[in-house]
Structure 1
Amino acid sequence: MEHFVVSARKYRPQNFEDVVGQKAISNTLLSAIKNNHLAQALLFTGPRGVGKTSCARILAKTINEREDDSPSEDKDYSFNIFELDAASNNSVEDIRNLTDQVRIPPQTGKYKVYIIDEVHMLSQSAFNAFLKTLEEPPKHAIFILATTEKHKIIPTILSRCQIFDFKRITVTDIKEHLKEIAIKEGVNAEDDALHIIAQKADGAMRDALSTYDRVVSYCGTELTRQAVAENLNVLDYETFFKVTDLILENRIADLLMTFNHVLSKGFDGQHFISGLASHFRDLMVCQNQNTIKLLEVGELIKSKYFEQSEKVSHSFLLEALELANNCDFDYKLSRNQRLHVEICLMQLASITAQNGENLQKKKPDTKIITPQEAERNNTKEEPKDYPKTKEEQKPDLKSSTLVSENKPEAIQHKSENKTSEKTEVEKEQKSQVKDEVLTDSEIKQPENKEQTKPNPPARKPAKPSGLSLKGLRHKKELKAEQERLKSEVEHKDNDFSQEELENAWTAYRDQLEANGLKILASTIGMCSPKIDGQQIKIEVANDTMRVEIMQSQGELMTFLKEKLQNTYIELHIDINHTEVEKTKYVYTDKEKYNKLKEINPAIDNLRQKLDLDFS
């Protein structure tokens, strides 16, 4: 079995031209070497797998090759290049050993290059020990620091270095580099398959090459999009295209089954909903010619995006993006995360359904014509022969109410006052003339309004607001009605004895106990009611009992009034202050002795004879 070299090592860049996606930094370093303008302390920072360590090695090799008169490919300049892993050599002693080596000049070549990888792992003391050497290094020493977390490096180190920020490698650059490697390896790879690998790498070339080796081991020499998606267990574009079609067709049941199939493959619900939101974004990008370049997909997938973008409207995508984004944002806070995503999918499928219902509701409104209006349009009879409608009869009601409001006595006493009858008849005749004029004017109005606007269904009268004038008037009417009903109640003023009062009081207490109100029943039972004219007086021990009885006073008095057949009795509650407990004090020994001496003076004589005193 031959030794296998992974692609990340086999195709590692050997010069600046081979570095992918970092053209600006490569050109800057080459220009600095050419013009002899290279700093002695460099800091390479950026995400993982973007070429920081590779560029550091290429730079060290390029510096020594430029100073060597007879460079060759066999020379690796290992005597002049020193690599230190700060993750495992992060103590002060390691940095002191490094500074001791820096003082020794190179035996071959002109420069010694020190590459310190993961420099942010150095301790605070190690950073401080490295400051002086980094600020004033020997002429033959060049330091290249590499890190993925620049914010963990102390500012005094950053101020002494020339910083180069490496960026993430784009999906297109990774895909093109993988395509070149596939050709060299004799692998027939689809463009969409390489694009999925490039997206999975998330801007890191090392991750992309590792994923490429894994997929080749699974698929062999034929890399297809379906095989790559199955091996990497990623949600394929076809899933989101299918989900979007189901949403547009309002097929909620099939939509939920598709989501269940996605979950059964081991995908997270948040990963699915975020991918769906990105899919809606890509569809929106396809609808504008100026934003098509933002769509980073293969040519075959791009054609599918264009085809589906023609089926959806811009307003639908905006609403769908908002729903999907809110679902993604609230996913971690949800207790039932699956239900949270399913509700979002049902809302998405209901967007087009609601719009379709609104259109169907608006269409019939302009075509409704009642049978009476159709007869009026077809016939040419005079309006006077038509029977009066409810609207035409309203003036009669108004006129009659006006007469009743202005002359109520004349209507009620027609037999007593003949003059009032005449005035009433005259007013009724005038109201009939007005009604005829009103009906003529109403009939002469154009009928187009009745055809375009059918009579709305009768609605229940809305309850007036409490802050409006109608609300205040409504409250006054209710209050007057309550007073009227109260006045109509039959008043009873029967006499009753003390024994009858005590029996009624005991009956109310038993009723409370039967209803489970034992505390209130106990409070009522502790009171002894007494008659004082129309008042029933009771005494309670404290204010708490008084408040408790006052809260149930309404039910108590209703019960007593009905039991005693007297509606005029009232309840009066007093607090018996004599029963309030006296305040207790803590006495000293001397105070206790004085109390005992007051009771029995002989105690003091005994104390004097025994010569006792208080300690």
Structure 2
Amino acid sequence: MAYQALYRKWRPSNFDEVRGQDHIVTTLKNQIEMNRIGHAYLFCGTRGTGKTSIAKIFAKAVNCEHPVNGSPCNECAMCRAVNEQRSMNVIEIDAASNNGVDNIREIREEVAYSPSEGKYKVYIIDEVHMLSIGAFNALLKTLEEPPSYVIFILATTEAHKIPITILSRCQRYDFRRISTGTIAGRLRELADAEGIDAEDAALAYVARMADGSMRDALSLLDQCNAFYIGQKLKYENVLDVLGAVDTSVFGSLLKSICSQDVSGVIHLIDEIVMQGRDLTQFVVDFTWYLRNLLMVQSSGDLTDLVEASAEQLEVMRQEASGIDASVLMRYIRIFSDLSGQVRYSTQKRVLVEVALIKLCHPAMERNLDAVLNRLAILEQKVAKGVVVSSQSSGGGAAGGDADGISGLQSGNGVQVQPEQKAVSEDLRMIIDRWKQVTGDLTPSMAVMLRGAVISEGPDNQLIIALADDMRYGYFAEESHRQALENALSERVGKLVKVNAVPLNKTENASQFIDPVQAFQGIDIVYED
């Protein structure tokens, strides 16, 4: 006999073999036992959850000559005919390829004839949401008042596409995603029956990758077993076949990210790529890994939502204890956005590397969770004895790291910052409000102030050293200088006199401060 895929060979033949849909199975069995069978059913749910299988079992059960507790016996002539796909009472229709009005008219003509054997004629219409509007309209009357011997079972993965007039005429049953534990248990049963030597960890990972679909789980098990046929199926073998990454790699990656080790992160991604791992699956798995850390960190009551062994949970608790929840949320947000982009990208590796660099350097983003991430990094460095402060005016972006933290090595190897020149309260207020001051000026005047540095002079004077003679000449004009003084006075709340000088003629340039670079990387917002 030709080989059959596992999901076909082990399709449930009675209600007792169905897994994960107890709420539906119990209802249908009760209806059969009490002889309260409806005329139209709508089975909704994601792929591989048992919609078509239960529809076939139900069709057998209503025609079975000797039902057992509402379940088909699979021994009578009617059950055997359905199992062998030669019954005239069970008609399966694929609505994806038979979606026209003419196809529905054929059904309307056929229902006029009662079944030659058995009690009911059952129509199973799969992917019913694919029917055209005209086909739905043609089905309405027959669906509302069919003959007493006709049952319609409509199956779909997208119930929202079905007209409300159809929905109101059916008993609706929503199929749930099957839990990972239930799928893993069923895989163990079938592996033992098939003589497949597989580790529990391997089957558990296959179950998790199935994402609630029993059919997908059986297909993945079939694929893994075919690759390692005759050998023991180990956890590492499943990772190789499916192109997935072990959770220990995620722990190393997260450690490198938290320590802002960009080189280590990029080298780790290079190893993953060289091993032939699927980057799309890597992004999804790492996002779930971060989610599990957040669950473990949030509350002990949520650990039951994390699919991991006791040993893995303990490792996760240790890893989560050193990371702030807001930082984890930022990581999850970035990788969730990345999962949508990388799926259809031709440059998956570039996108992943950019996202990881962004995780290492929160200063690349200006939103709230990035700021919280930067604060968490500063707190960790302070806790380790590292003295941090804002960058000096001469440092620039290249002079320090991505978070604006730079310094010198002290004798004991701890980074310290050189002391900066103390400034008066009035000068600090001008520096703090410099961005608002330039915003109040005309665009041309703001351009002329670019590159200017300031210092405090006597008698409430503000000395502004301009970058070149053209800019100096601009502010040497009374009207321009007066406009700048008015803007400064209005923002500071005090009378400010401006003394413009050329920068190349100043004697003590070290006394001047760049108001733009003084607090680089820190956005200060003032409300009026």
TM-score category by the smaller chain? 0.5 to 0.7
Question: In structure 2, which of residues 182, 191, 197 is the aligned counterpart of residue 188 of structure 1?
Answer: 197
Q: 1:109 to 1:255 in 2, by over 3 A?
A: same
Gaps of 5+ in 1: 365-455, 482-615
Q: 1:71 to 1:107 in 2, by over 3 A?
A: farther
Q: 1:96 to 1:195 in 2, by over 3 A?
A: same
CA contact (8 A) 1:316 1:351 kept: no
Distance 2:186 2:27 in 1: 22
- Alignment of 1:88 with 2:97, yes or no, is yes
**Per-residue deviation, 1:249:** 5.8
**Per-residue deviation, 1:218:** 0.8
Distance 1:93 1:329 in 2: 45
CA contact (8 A) 2:338 2:352 kept: no
Q: Tell me what 1:24 maps to.
A: 23
- Alignment of 1:56 with 2:51, yes or no, is no
Secondary structure of 1:188's match?
A: coil
Question: In structure 1, which of residues 277, 294, 311 is the aligned counterpart of residue 305 of structure 2?
Answer: 294
Residue 319 of structure 1 aligns with an amino acid whose one-letter code is V
Gaps of 5+ in 2: 363-372, 389-418, 438-455, 464-528
**Per-residue deviation, 1:477:** 5.6
Question: In structure 1, which of residues 127, 141, 158 is the aligned counterpart of residue 136 of structure 2?
Answer: 127
**Per-residue deviation, 1:41:** 0.7
- Alignment of 1:319 with 2:327, yes or no, is yes
Greater CA deviation, 211-220 or 320-329? 320-329
**Per-residue deviation, 1:266:** 5.2
Residue 295 of structure 1 aligns with an amino acid whose one-letter code is V
Question: In structure 2, which of residues 250, 268, 271 is the aligned counterpart of residue 258 of structure 1?
Answer: 268
Give the alignment's TM-score, normalised by structure 2: 0.65
Q: 1:314 to 1:239 in 2, by over 3 A?
A: closer
Secondary structure of 2:125's match?
A: strand
Residue 44 of structure 1 aligns with an amino acid whose one-letter code is F
Q: Tell me what 1:42 maps to.
A: 41
Secondary structure of 1:310's match?
A: helix
**Per-residue deviation, 1:350:** 8.4
Distance 1:360 1:240 in 2: 25
Secondary structure of 1:463's match?
A: helix
Distance 2:180 2:74 in 1: 36
Residue 358 of structure 1 aligns with an amino acid whose one-letter code is V
Higher RCO (Cα < 8 Å, 6 or more apart):
2
Distance 1:198 1:12 in 2: 17
CA contact (8 A) 1:32 1:38 kept: yes
Question: Per-residue displacement from partner, 1:552-604 (whole Å, max 9, x unpaired)?
Answer: xxxxxxxxxxxxxxxxxxxxxxxxxxxxxxxxxxxxxxxxxxxxxxxxxxxxx
CA contact (8 A) 1:323 1:344 kept: no
Higher gyration radius (CA): 1
Greater CA deviation, 124-133 or 287-296? 287-296
**Per-residue deviation, 1:330:** 6.2
**Per-residue deviation, 1:132:** 1.0
**Per-residue deviation, 1:241:** 2.4
- Alignment of 1:307 with 2:320, yes or no, is no
Q: Tell me what 2:148 maps to.
A: 139
Q: Tell me what 2:4 maps to.
A: 5
Q: Tell me what 1:589 maps to.
A: none
Distance 1:203 1:264 in 2: 30
Secondary structure of 2:42's match?
A: strand
Distance 1:325 1:84 in 2: 43
Question: In structure 1, which of residues 229, 234, 238 is the aligned counterpart of residue 239 of structure 2?
Answer: 229
CA contact (8 A) 1:250 1:353 kept: no
Secondary structure of 1:44's match?
A: strand
Q: 1:245 to 1:63 in 2, by over 3 A?
A: same
Q: Tell me what 1:279 maps to.
A: 289
CA contact (8 A) 2:42 2:173 kept: yes
Q: Tell me what 1:76 maps to.
A: 81
Residue 235 of structure 1 aligns with an amino acid whose one-letter code is V
Distance 1:82 1:458 in 2: 88
Secondary structure of 1:223's match?
A: coil
Residue 309 of structure 1 aligns with an amino acid whose one-letter code is R
**Per-residue deviation, 1:243:** 1.8
Distance 2:220 2:338 in 1: 32
Q: Tell me what 1:337 maps to.
A: 351
CA contact (8 A) 1:284 1:309 kept: no
- Alignment of 1:213 with 2:222, yes or no, is yes
Question: Per-residue displacement from partner, 1:148-187 (whole Å, max 9, x unpaired)?
Answer: 1112211111111111111111111111110100111112
* Aligned-pair identity (%): 34
CA contact (8 A) 2:250 2:289 kept: yes
Q: 1:248 to 1:89 in 2, by over 3 A?
A: closer
Q: Tell me what 1:357 maps to.
A: 381
Distance 1:351 1:188 in 2: 51
Distance 1:361 1:169 in 2: 51
Q: 1:262 to 1:354 in 2, by over 3 A?
A: farther
Distance 1:332 1:209 in 2: 27
Secondary structure of 2:292's match?
A: helix
Distance 2:322 2:225 in 1: 41
Q: Tell me what 1:241 maps to.
A: 251
Give the alignment's TM-score, normalised by structure 1: 0.56
Higher helix proportion (structure 1 or 2): 1
Distance 2:38 2:162 in 1: 19
Distance 1:170 1:151 in 2: 24
Q: Tell me what 2:453 maps to.
A: none
Question: Per-residue displacement from partner, 1:291-339 (whole Å, max 9, x unpaired)?
Answer: 2211113x3xx40331342254265344133234235436768996245
Q: 1:350 to 1:51 in 2, by over 3 A?
A: same
CA contact (8 A) 2:121 2:151 kept: yes
Question: Per-residue displacement from partner, 1:85-132 (whole Å, max 9, x unpaired)?
Answer: 222222222212211111111222221111111212222111111111
Distance 2:89 2:285 in 1: 49
Distance 1:278 1:342 in 2: 16
Q: Tell me what 1:198 maps to.
A: 207
CA contact (8 A) 1:250 1:352 kept: no
Distance 2:37 2:422 in 1: 86
Q: CA RMSD in A?
A: 3.6
CA contact (8 A) 1:250 1:350 kept: no
Q: Tell me what 2:360 maps to.
A: 346
- Alignment of 1:459 with 2:422, yes or no, is yes
**Per-residue deviation, 1:204:** 1.2
